[in-house]
Amino acid sequence: MTQILKISKAGVNVVTGTAPDNLIFSSDYNTLKYHLSGTINVSDITDGTVNGTVSHNLGYVPYFTAYVNKYATPGGEDYNMCPSQFQDVDVRAIAQSYADTANVYFRCINVNAGTTTYTFRYFIFRNNLGI
Amino acid sequence: MTQVIKVSKAGKNVLTETDRNNFIFDSTVNTFKILAEGTATATITADGQTITVAHNQGTIPAFYAFCKFPDGYVAMPEESDMAFTGSGDRWWRASMDATNLIFTFNKGASANYAPIVKYYVFEPTI
């Protein structure tokens, strides 16, 4: 017999409350598992060159997500989920993130200048995309 | 008395710790469950071509997906391939309805290609 671990929400019978939204935890369902998180500053560019790299050392392509602070100056924190496009008086840029079996890559393409630094906040999980 | 299960990070006292970021597991807060995951692929021969996957949830679930392009890099939705094969070429997005996950691809002037999508369906509903 397969052994499982379930924790139900308050007021829900853990034996009969089988719907996933009645459970705090169920070993029937996988979850995202943290591997690495951090920030990286990336200077914007005007072409498709990647100019920010984080090594994850997993040997497979992991689940990852990233946010970018569209304001280059401190105190103007406004993190946007990647990919993100934004336009201002002197900025028209797109912030992107990619991954392979070795690294997560970041770039911010600013078609107007290529002289600003942006901060990416990234989360890399242990979950193997398998692709 | 309400029973709880908590697992603290190394170096943290599970009985006195109050910062939820210092717990590996805490039964007082829900976990972000992955209900389903899988891969899908097709050969893209025209702009706007879709790959559709039934999610079988009966509601519109939260989901996320990644795409591996022929250049070997994995991209988030709303991105082109990292190689920028051409402006607007090899670009994709992900959407959903009550029945399906829908992945839409552009081809532009590029050659036909076969992206590989990895998708995750999560517990929360939209």
If you average pLDDT over every residue of chain B, what do you get? Answer: 93
- The pair of structure tokens assigned to B48 is 């706007």
Which positions in chain A touch B35 (Cβ < 8 Å)? 20, 29
Is the per-residue pLDDT at A117 higher than 60? yes
d(CA A62, CA A35) in angstroms, rounded, equals 9
Residue A78 is predicted with a pLDDT of 78
Q: Longest C-alpha distance within chain B, in Å?
A: 66
pLDDT band at A118 (very low <50, low <70, confident <90, very high): confident
d(CA A107, CA A85) in angstroms, rounded, equals 12
pLDDT digits (tens, 9 = 90+) for B56-112: 998 899 999 999 999 999 999 999 999 877 667 899 999 999 999 999 999 988 899
CA proximity to A99, closest of A79, A129, A71, A77 = A129
pLDDT digits (tens, 9 = 90+) for A42-73: 888 777 777 899 999 999 999 999 999 876 55
Return the HEC string of B29-71: CCCCEEEEEEEEECCECCCCEEEEEECCCCCCEEEEEEEECCC
Radius of gyration, CA atoms only, chain B: 20
Q: Is A111 on the interface with B (CB under 8 A)?
A: no
Q: Which of A7, A98, A131 sits opposite B27 (nearest CB)?
A: A7
Q: Is A50 on the interface with B (CB under 8 A)?
A: yes
- The pair of structure tokens assigned to A79 is 């993190």
Q: Hey, is B75 helix, strand or coil?
A: strand
CB contact under 8 A, B82 and A24: no
Residue A73 is predicted with a pLDDT of 58
Residue in chain A nearest B117 by alpha carbon? A131
Q: Is B2 on the interface with A (CB under 8 A)?
A: yes
ipTM of this predicted structure: 0.89
State which amino acid sits at residue A20.
P
Residue B60 is predicted with a pLDDT of 92
Of B104 and A88, the one with more pLDDT: B104
Residue A92 is predicted with a pLDDT of 72
Is the per-residue pLDDT at A108 higher than 90? no
> In degrees to the nearest 10, what's the CA dihedral of B27, B120, A123, B18?
-10
H or E, element range at B2: none
d(CA B77, CA B93) in angstroms, rounded, equals 5
Separation in Å, CA B12 to CA A33, B3, B123: 19, 20, 29
Residue A85 is predicted with a pLDDT of 84
Residue B89 is predicted with a pLDDT of 84
Instruction: Report the predicted TM-score, pTM, of the whole model to 2 decimal places.
Output: 0.90
State which amino acid sits at residue A71.
Y
Q: Which of B2, B34, B77 sits opposite A31 (nearest CB)?
A: B34
d(CA B48, CA B105) in angstroms, rounded, equals 5
CB contact under 8 A, B118 and A50: no
Q: Token pair 């290529």 is at which residue?
A: A114
Collect all residues with Cβ–Cβ distance below 8 Å to A26 and sequence separation of at least 6: A4, A5, A6, A7, A20, B33
Residue A70 is predicted with a pLDDT of 72
Preceding peptide of A74 cis, ω within 30° = no
